[in-house]
Structure 1
């Protein structure tokens, strides 16, 4: 499984023949090493909520690449009004699961805000049993422990930037609750108002969840997990 970080919370996951984009924020993203026009393929786009730094260029990419968009029902309806073909909208809600390309996509809650619908995260379970938790923008909340009880999560993607999401300390504690083997930090370094390095998170992780390995992604460089 190959993961590429395009800065902020913008990721591409390639699993065998399937390519997934998550929160494809390119325009206005100072960390993005490419533009959305450089993205040539995508089988699925997952959107956690409708803030501009997460919904990003979902509409442009989906219409150009003929790609299905998975998001909470209200966000899908908003995108359809903006021009997304109805056939490409996969609306769902908290607790629901859809299956695409053999991947179980479960939508879970996130503690954040959203102008449309509710903010969400995703738990992805692949055909070989590997399980990823993409938290989206969120603060720490107790039900993360339930995610760990209900799913054998291999890799968690967690925000650590503070101010608008969990900070490094809370994200490290979240790893203990989730029980993940490794963690990919996100939503940091994009602007000065966010955490600017991984040192605080690494220190907090060693203290709170030493069995969890941090994956220090380099922007634009594919990494195998």
Structure 2
């Protein structure tokens, strides 16, 4: 069983009852955040790229006991600011008790708010609780998503905000390539340029044979 909590924007918390994982923990300063740093505990803190709305509270969460796992550039930057980290890169696999994660390509950019280079942007495939999850990070549509789907995805988190990432139409095309059982839209409605109708996207996903869930910040999805 895998419990998933959507914390707003692209922040997702997952737990199989033993290992707790958070992806892109943008909580402080996020107008839609469903939790504060004080309320979140994570063993692994996965960062897809260095932009402030994704790196977010990585260091603060690491100081509570978690480990930042990301590109070499992001991991070493986090270490310099007091975090524990595991430096990786695209294509690399990290195995831990009860699961594994593998970094995938993403088409975007990656730099910290202070201008420091953050390495290549990434997505991640995570196996936890016997389920396989794909978090696309910030990305445009790309045809190699078909290869990512070959692992057999139980759930995909896809950005639909447009403007900075793919929008709803391209995210639906991504479903045709990835073929996940379920999809949750992310990276929308946080700021005016990325206003979208998450429920409309979820309905169109269902029409394509994919179970769509437009979770509100704080919403929970359990995969049995």
Task: Name the TM-score, length of structure 2 as normaliser.
Answer: 0.91
The residue that corresponds to 1:10 in the other structure is 11
Matches for 1:157-196 after TM superposition, within 5 Å:
157-196=157-196
Shift of 1:104: 1.2
Contact 1:168–1:204 (Cα < 8 Å) also in 2: no
Matches for 1:5-84 after TM superposition, within 5 Å:
5-39=6-40, 41-63=41-63, 65-84=64-83
Give the CA RMSD over aligned residues. 1.5
Contact 2:199–2:214 (Cα < 8 Å) also in 1: no
Contact 1:169–1:204 (Cα < 8 Å) also in 2: no
Unaligned runs of 5+ in 1: none
Whole-Å separation in 2 of the counterparts to 1:152 and 1:199: 24
Give the SS at the match of 1:6: strand
Shift of 1:70: 0.8
Give the SS at the match of 1:193: helix
CA deviations over 1:39-88 (Å, ceiling 9, x no partner)? 2x21111110110000001001101x22111101111111112222xxx2
Whole-Å separation in 2 of the counterparts to 1:206 and 1:222: 19
Shift of 1:99: 0.6
Mapped pair 1:91 → 2:84:
no
Count of residue correspondences: 216
Contact 2:16–2:129 (Cα < 8 Å) also in 1: no
Shift of 1:107: 0.5
| Deviating 4+ runs (over 6 angstroms) | none
Contact 1:140–1:174 (Cα < 8 Å) also in 2: yes
Task: Name the TM-score, length of structure 1 as normaliser.
Answer: 0.91
Unaligned runs of 5+ in 2: 112-117
Matches for 1:124-135 after TM superposition, within 5 Å:
124-126=126-128, 128=130, 130-135=131-136
Whole-Å separation in 1 of the counterparts to 2:129 and 2:211: 23
Give the SS at the match of 2:209: coil
Shift of 1:6: 1.1
The residue that corresponds to 2:215 in the other structure is 217
